Structure 1
Amino acid sequence: MSTSPYFQTRRRLVAAAPHEIFELLRDPDMHPVIDGSGTVKASSSHGDKLSQGSQFGMQMRLGLPYRISNTVVEFEEDSRIAWRHFSGHRWRYELEAVGTGTMVSETWDASRLRHKWLLRLLGFTRSTGPNMERTLERLAAQFPTE
């Protein structure tokens, strides 16, 4: 489901309404819970809900601990939310009601970066897709079917 190694999308049907999923995604405290990469450790936002232009920090660990700042750059209630890092990476979630559930699309867009070769060298172009699939699995697990 990728058009390039620097622009990847994964999709999954989740047994919840778009509003429920959107509320989870706009809560940075839930990001470590659903993260499939194992790198997102904690939110620095503590209860603040995201909206257009929100800035929020995450405590991360990829070998060594570090902190990253993000800015919400797309925000459409119950439909789409995206944020970007300082370096320009963009993470987007799009929600579409489908029957009694929601099709969730997660996109990683690093296509605008100047030093894309570094992402390939560090293995991000290979690991991002599988990590997104795990994230969507963990997201779906937050809304168990009865």
Structure 2
Amino acid sequence: MTCEQLRLDNQLCFALYSTSLAMTKVYKPLLQALNLTYPQYLAMLVLWENDGLTVGELSQRLLTDPGSVTPLLKRLEAEGLLKRTRSSSDERVVELRLTEKGRALQQQAELVPGCILKATGQSTDELQALKQELVELRARLQQAI
């Protein structure tokens, strides 16, 4: 007999995990058209918002460590979407600048959010409320760490 608290379908973590997997599967063909992986797309979103960040600033914004974004950034640079340069004031700091190709990709990417909205079958207001709940949950979990 299984304890109800240990049933997979009763786990918030599994609901979040499986929903995240489904979301990335919906994104996959949309991002393949842009020649981006999901993590690369997230990095590009941050850079389209604020070009000229450092690797550290980008990793902070993505809630990850700088070492995990470096391989992703190298691939984006190899694709000609950004340039990585050492800071003239501190060579330990790597600055990120979008190329023309990287900036131009933003226009193509503008179709992605509408496709995702359609796939969810929810209204913009419903999704904003859900997103806000998730952001608040994330903040509480980060405080607990």
Which structure has greater helix proportion? 2
State the structure with more CA Rg: 2
TM-score (norm 1): 0.29
Greater relative contact order (CA < 8 Å, ≥ 6 in sequence)? 1
Which structure has greater strand proportion? 1
TM-score (norm 2): 0.29
